[in-house]
Structure 1
Amino acid sequence: MLYNAYELQRTMLGNAAAFASVGAELLTNPALPIGYFGFGPYLASALDVFAHAAAPRGKPAFDIEAVTVGGKTHTVTESIVLHRPFGNLLRFDHAGLPEDAPRLLIVAPMSGHFATLLRGTVARMVESCVVYITDWADAKMVPLSEGTFDLDDYIDYVIGFLEFIGPNTHMLAVCQPSVPALATAAIMAGAENPCRPASLTMMGGPVDTREAPTSVNDVAMDRPLSWFEHHVITTVPITYPGSGRRVYPGFLQLTGFLAMNLGSHMMSHYAMFNHLVTGDGESAAATKAFYDEYRSVCDMTADYYLQTVEHVFQRHSLPKGELIHRGKRVDLGAIRDTALLAVEGERDDISGIGQTRAALHLATALPEARKKYYLADGVGHYGIFNGSKWRNAIAPVVEQWIAAHRNAVPSPN
């Protein structure tokens, strides 16, 4: 019933958004003077803001067409190099990269947004690396015949992607996947897998949420797992290929994120309204571009979501040495050569300071020379992987770390 109610609301808002968009276009038509006098500009701007906020959204495209390196512009090539039911492996490169350019696997969050949320991360790192990224599928689009997908499957996918790319690949995990990515490094190290990552960069990840708990952590701890199963898990309706699959719908995830900072989101839309009234289309377009991405959401499978809540936020299974993958305990002490870089934001209100850094203490057998911690001053959660501070301050640290550990894993005999 929850999903069906949402679909009904989405349809009604979509129709209203279409009418509002037509009204805004009419009021801004140069042939109609009413848009330039009295309340005309205010009404047109209000309709435009409403149309943008209420419009339905699908999966965005990466649209990374070119990068400029050393004063030269190169066309970026995007391709699907491996297809899996619950997520493809994408590759980005350009002709300006040297033949021995490092290979970087970016593990995108499976947390309600598409991998395109990391567009800025990919665009910056493809300047110096052949970039691969996990393009997780929208669970409502995956038929039940493809089976289930849980935390074990997530780790298996990442292992499979690393094996497909090959030895001495570097890995970068943004936010939530820091936990399964770290587990992946440990599992592959314990098995002496030659394709274990040469380095792993974790950015704003909840490795140990007992450190500096945030409001997100508090919500997970204050309620039993049964509450989440009964209140936020629903079934995909018949209108989608994944009909009958139990999911945590993206629209609920988005509602939660918006509610966390409702005041700032309202002020952003009010600022957009003012920009439109004064004719500052460039500033309004920047706000629209951000929310186009932010409001594009997807569903995740119930199994994966509930296991993440249980093991990451409630039981702290990985830092306590209690996480089990395919019947075997994940031992972080097995990591002996994968270089670890932990990046945190000073103003991160989702993953508190110390939660990502905990990974460095947990890798007890890893030499200190292969551990690094970087705290980004004045940076919030989103700014860790997008925006000017990411491009100019954080990304160079990641690039230097990759360069320093290009061949950290011994080549197989």
Structure 2
Amino acid sequence: MDSSRGVEDLLRELAPQVLGALVRRYGQFEACEDATQEALLKAARRWPTTGLPDNPRGWLVTVAARELLDAARSDASRRRREHALAVATPDAALLAGPADARPAGDVDDSLVLLFLCCHPALSVPSQVALTLRAVGGLRTAQIAAAFLVPEPTMAQRISRAKQTVRASGLPFALPAPDERPARLAAVLHVVYLVFNEGYTASAGDRLTAPDLSTEAIRLGRLLRRLLPDEPEVAGLLALMLLTDARRAARTGPGGELVPLAEQDRDRWDGGAIAEGVELVSATLPRGAVGPYQLQAAIAAVHDEAPSVEATDWAQVLVLYELLERVDPGPMVTLNRAVAVAMVHGPEQGLALLGTLDADRRVGRHHRLLSTRAHLLELAGDDEAAARAYRDAGRLTTSLPERRYLSARADRLRAPDRRG
């Protein structure tokens, strides 16, 4: 593996394994996480030049363990911690050469780390940040850049998350069986949040942040490997693959937003679509259907259609009706309104959208206004559509979306359009 990109990919794969090995031995998440990051940085600087060691994971574990003990020795006031670490070390040979001890049993430390980082004691932003750093192996600066916040802000968020983990005394172990469904739901939610931020950045001058989408898909593959019998894990991976398959066609040469109806579908990733369709097709018939599986099924219908007009909108509508029963929410209703408009006409879609006006979660959200604008345009009310596009553009914090919405409004107000 000669390229620096290949080394970076390997380090992301090994990061949770190394951190898990240290936490399992020493039981100090915050200190172990810092030491793991130092080891990853040293490897990132050294391996592209010197080549990979014979045992990359063992090299990282050894270097991280040395970093951990050096940090304990660096301050006299921490001699007690050093003693505790020395006592906790199961084998003094750990520091003498490469180590590659695997956890007892067949539990992968990566899964334990995912559950730990997504513990309900942490806020959702902290869960996201800690997951990307501890399980994704991303540096603080990378996470801050992806979420368009200053690096010190992200550093504080990560630090608070680690302090919360330390103060909680959470064991480094899988949650009890009765807690696992809720905790898995939190893990999937965090991975989906990371993907969504990558697919459509919430703010700034970029429409997408591809590194985040790619990392979310990598985490989805990891979860699929660790939990092959969980249908919602397969559903989330399928959903991300089917959605990300359109990424190349979503922006024009200048980074401008290209809506679904105008995308060049030849630029969609056929391999990702095939993989996503195969996943969701194998998962849906197996039993209880969850929201990620249903969203993946909707994405598959869109991806397999040769055009917007040829899309099986009746099937999309049925799937959204099922999704609204399984996981109701204003965004589901909003998307169902589009399907209603395509099947039964824009007036019925607009009527359904009207039920969301009093919902504080979306009443002044740019997505509601832009969807209303689209349906008004379909209904032929160009003047009202232009106003709605303009209002939506004022509310979004994404510059590509703002430019697109403003351009739509200007086009509808053009003299030749108004006749």
Query: Could you say which TM-score interval applies, normalised by the shorter chain?
Result: under 0.3
Structure whose residues are more often strand by fraction = 1
**Structure showing greater relative contact order (alpha-carbon pairs closer than 8 Å, 6 or more residues apart):** 1
Higher-Rg member (1/2): 2
Structure whose residues are more often helix by fraction = 2
